[in-house]
């Protein structure tokens, strides 16, 4: 079962800006594809209103001293490269996401496979941007940085973007699908990232914590106790407060 609401588009409403300014510190670049399919993806993403507006919104909310370049079409990633201040994401990441959604006919949820794949790309960019902020500004964090980056992505999606919770749910669904398609091995438990199924449940918890009435049925279907639901609310509030305190001097 998918936890995606039935919507037909992603609309970011805080800042509707479709062009990027030269002074912007968060930039996105699409590299030349190595195959016909990669060139097709490049053109599709370059022409995406959602990505344009997403990047513009970030630049309108954050003030950075150093430029962070999001390089789509790199050979590696997704990852943040600290010696270049680049976020690297290969076209294969988008392709794998698209094909995973396509395999289960995700469009039946009411959102196109293309938009769902862009949702996942946006969540991934925010996750890597958390690593960039932690590195560039030496932000004080305690705990697993990958989990902290997930919390940053969830909080920023929900707090800065209209329908950001829907983007988060697309990402939750891809974690669930990855988990369904992957047999766990020892390396999965050693990896710095939480298991995909844990990231799925964490994402739902963030969504519920931000709007309990709206997402109560989702957690009921997963047999969450009321005590666990209450903890989702408490954790979300703490994450919001902590992130905006830590980032206070970096916000416009």
pLDDT in tens, 154-208: 999 999 998 899 999 999 999 999 887 766 566 655 556 668 889 999 999 999 9
Q: Which whole number is the average pLDDT over 92-112?
A: 95
More confidently predicted of 17 and 58: 58
Please give the model's pTM, rounded to 2 decimal places. 0.88
- What's the pLDDT at 81? 96
Considering the chain, what percentage of its residues have pLDDT values greater than 90?
71
User: What are the sequence ranges of the domains in the chain?
Assistant: 26-250
- What's the pLDDT at 5? 45
- What's the pLDDT at 162? 85
- What's the pLDDT at 92? 97
Q: Has residue 134 got a pLDDT over 60?
A: yes
- What's the pLDDT at 2? 54
pLDDT in tens, 218-238: 899 988 999 999 999 999 999
pLDDT in tens, 21-35: 557 899 999 999 999
- What's the pLDDT at 115? 94
- What's the pLDDT at 191? 55
Asked if residue 9 lies in contact with residue 115, where contact means CB atoms within 8 angstroms, the answer is yes
pLDDT in tens, 41-77: 999 999 999 999 999 999 999 988 899 999 999 999 9
Q: Has residue 132 got a pLDDT over 50?
A: yes
- What's the pLDDT at 152? 97
Considering the chain, what percentage of its residues have pLDDT values greater than 70?
86
pLDDT band at 1 (very low <50, low <70, confident <90, very high): very low
- What's the pLDDT at 248? 92
């Amino acid at each position: 079962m998918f936890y995606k609401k039935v919507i037909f588009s992603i609309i970011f409403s805080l800042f509707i800006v479709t062009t990027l300014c030269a002074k912007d510190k968060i930039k996105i670049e699409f590299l030349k594809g190595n195959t016909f399919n990669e060139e097709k993806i490049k053109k599709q993403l370059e022409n995406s209103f959602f990505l344009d507006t997403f990047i513009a919104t970030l630049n309108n909310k954050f003030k950075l001293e150093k430029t962070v370049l999001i390089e789509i079409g790199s050979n590696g990633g997704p990852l943040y490269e600290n010696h270049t201040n680049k976020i690297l994401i290969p076209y294969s990441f988008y392709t794998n996401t698209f094909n995973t959604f396509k395999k289960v006919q995700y469009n039946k949820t009411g959102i196109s496979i293309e938009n769902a794949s862009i949702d996942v790309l946006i969540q991934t960019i925010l996750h890597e941007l958390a690593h960039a902020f932690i590195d560039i500004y030496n932000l004080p964090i305690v705990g697993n940085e990958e989990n902290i980056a997930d919390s940053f992505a969830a909080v920023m999606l929900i707090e800065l973007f209209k329908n950001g919770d829907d983007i988060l749910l697309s990402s939750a669904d891809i974690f669930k699908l990855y988990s369904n398609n992957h047999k766990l091995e020892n390396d999965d438990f050693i990896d710095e990232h939480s298991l995909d199924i844990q990231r799925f449940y964490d994402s739902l918890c963030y969504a519920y914590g931000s709007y309990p009435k709206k997402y109560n049925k989702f957690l009921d279907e997963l047999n969450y106790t009321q005590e666990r639901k209450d903890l989702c609310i408490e954790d979300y509030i703490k994450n919001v407060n902590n992130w905006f305190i830590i980032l206070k001097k970096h916000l416009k």
